[in-house]
Amino acid sequence: MDDLVLKRLGSLMKLREDIEVLSGSGRWTPSSDWLETDSHVILVMDLPGIAPESLEIQEEDEILTVAGKREDLEIPGVVFHQERPGQEFVREFQMPRDTTPGTAQARLRNGVLIISFEKSSKVINAE
């Protein structure tokens, strides 16, 4: 195939992905907030219908990746109106503050993911 055909095919695939997202059948972007205390940075993310075992949380360098999949409810019937977003999601975040690696603690409570990271503290030498 020539480059023009590949480019057009790529454009069509992107358009299809955009339509799936808008129609609720593709990936979705859960809402999230960052909070800060004296000692921690905290990510709060709305994940209704997500089971803890379906979550993947990875911290690498200064990038946090949260991914998951909402299982199909398997309710018989034909969908004639759909507003709920798609079943899969992937979010990548640049860490907003320096944190201590390996200190993240995550919990899922009432459909809300809460991940807490210890802030890195700077050592001040006093003489």
pLDDT number for residue 83: 79
- Residue 88: which of 63, 75, 69 has the closest Cα? 69
| Burial environment of residue 32 by CB neighbours within 10 A (0 to 12, 13 to 18, 19 or more) | middle
Residue 50 has which token pair? 């997500």
| pLDDT tens-digit profile, the chain (127 residues) | 567 766 676 676 666 666 655 555 557 889 999 999 999 999 999 999 899 999 999 999 889 999 999 887 888 988 888 777 778 899 999 999 889 988 999 999 999 999 999 998 755 556 6
Instruction: Go through the domains of the chain in sequence order and give each one's CATH number.
Output: 27-71+85-118 (2.60.40.790)
pLDDT number for residue 122: 53
